[in-house]
Amino acid sequence: MEQASFLRDRLLPIGTVLLALLALWYVFVVVLNAPFERDQAARAGGTIGFMELLPKTMAQERPVLPAPHQVFAELWDTTVNKAITSKRSLVYHSWITLSATLLGFSMGAVLGVLLAIGIVHNRAMDRSLMPWVIASQTIPILAIAPMIIVVLNAVGISGLMPKALISTYLSFFPVVVGMVKGLRSPEQIQLDLMHTYNASPAQTFWKLRWPASMPYLFTSLKVAVAISLVGAIVGELPTGAVAGLGARLLAGSYYGQTVQIWAALFMAAAVAALLVIIVGIAHTRVLKRMGART
C-alpha cells in the first residue's frame, strides 16, 4: 500500500514533469540550433529538409543549446573517464569549489547563529542590526564579489579565503532570519513557565529557546548551504581562477564550449542537491534524537 502511494504521489508526478521538461528541451534544441544548419546549407548553395536537419541539430560541436544526451555524455566523460586528479575532471573542479563552499558555509552558519542570539536577547541589536542584515542582501553579489577579491588580494589574502568570505556573505542571512524566528517561537505561556521555575536567561535559552529553534535552524541551513555554493562559484569568476566549477564555466564561455558550460552547471546542481540532502539527513536525525516524530 505504501509503495503504491509512493508511486502515485511522488514518483509519477516527478517523472511526468521531468519527461515534459526533457521533451521541451529537445524541442528548443531543434529551434535554436536549426538557423546555423540552414545557414551552412545556404552557403553551400543548397537547402536542407527537416529530416536531415533534425539529427544535425542534436550533434553540433558548439550548439546554441546542447541536447540532453550531449550534456550527459560530457558529464560521463569528465567524471567517470577522467582521473579525479586530472584538471579536466569535473570531480577535481567540484572539490576545489566545495572546499570554499564548506568553509564559507561553516563561517556563515556560526555568524548567523551568533547574530540571531544577540538580536533576540538585545533590543538595541534588534532595532539597529536587523535592518542592516536585511539591507546587506540588496547588494548584488556579482557587484560586490570583485571588490572583495581585489581588496583582499591587496592585503595579501588570496586563494581559498576570498571565495569562502563571499559564501559567508550569502549564507549567513538565511541563518540569521531563520534562527531569529526559531528563538522567538516559544509561546508566552512556555516562557512564563520557565519564569515560575526561576530559570536564568541561560537556562531558558538552552532548555527552551534552543531546542525550539532546531527545525528553523536546519531549514535555514538547507538554503544557506546551497547559496554558499553559488557564492563560491561567483567568487571564482573575477579572479580568473584555473580550477573550480566557476573556472570551468569561465573557460567554456571564453571558447564557446556550451556543452562544457552546461555540464558544469549540472555538476554544480548535483553538488548542491547532495549538500542539501546531507543537511536534511542531519535534520531528521537530530529531531529524532530530540524525540520528535519523523
199: DSSP letter: -
Pair (229, 125) in one structural domain? yes
- Whole-number Å distance between alpha carbons of 57 and 46: 17
pLDDT value for 276: 93
| Structural domain range at position 193 | 90-289
Residue 102 lies in a domain: yes
Rg, C-alpha atoms of the chain:
25
Residue 146 lies in a domain: yes
Q: Contact, 146 vs 235, CB < 8 A? A: no
pLDDT value for 292: 65
Phi, psi of 143 (to 5 degrees): -85, -35
pLDDT value for 165: 86
Pair (174, 48) in one structural domain? no
pLDDT value for 220: 93
Burial of 149 (0-12, 13-18, 19+ CB in 10 A): buried
Nearest to 148 by CA among 129, 161, 135: 161
Pair (225, 163) in one structural domain? yes
Residue 81 lies in a domain: no
What cell was used for 267?
A: 555538476
- Whole-number Å distance between alpha carbons of 191 and 181: 15
Pair (30, 139) in one structural domain? no
Pair (151, 274) in one structural domain? yes
Residue 85 lies in a domain: no
Give me the tens of pLDDT residue by residue for the chain, a chain 294 residues long: 556 666 666 777 888 888 999 999 888 988 888 888 888 878 877 777 778 778 888 888 888 888 888 888 888 888 888 878 888 888 888 888 999 899 999 999 999 999 999 988 888 888 888 888 888 888 787 777 778 777 877 777 777 788 888 889 889 999 999 999 998 888 888 888 888 888 888 888 888 888 888 889 999 999 999 999 988 888 887 665 677 888 888 888 877 788 888 998 999 999 999 999 999 999 988 888 877 665
Q: Contact, 166 vs 145, CB < 8 A? A: yes
pLDDT value for 3: 60
Residue 294 lies in a domain: no
Q: Contact, 93 vs 270, CB < 8 A? A: no
Residue 226 lies in a domain: yes
pLDDT value for 88: 82
pLDDT value for 185: 87
Pair (249, 209) in one structural domain? yes
Residue at a domain's end among 61, 77, 106:
61
Pair (223, 277) in one structural domain? yes
Domain count, the chain: 2
Q: Contact, 140 vs 73, CB < 8 A? A: no
Cα 30 to Cα 33, 71, 129, 219, 288: the distances in Å are 5, 15, 52, 40, 50
Q: Contact, 246 vs 232, CB < 8 A? A: yes
Pair (139, 41) in one structural domain? no
CATH number at residue 159: 1.10.3720.10
Residue 76 lies in a domain: no
What cell was used for 190?
A: 512556555
Residue 78 lies in a domain: no
pTM for the whole structure: 0.84
Q: In the chain, count H helices and then E strands.
A: 14, 0
pLDDT value for 35: 84
Pair (154, 230) in one structural domain? yes
Which residues have C-beta within 8 Å of that of residue 49, sequence separation ≥ 6? none
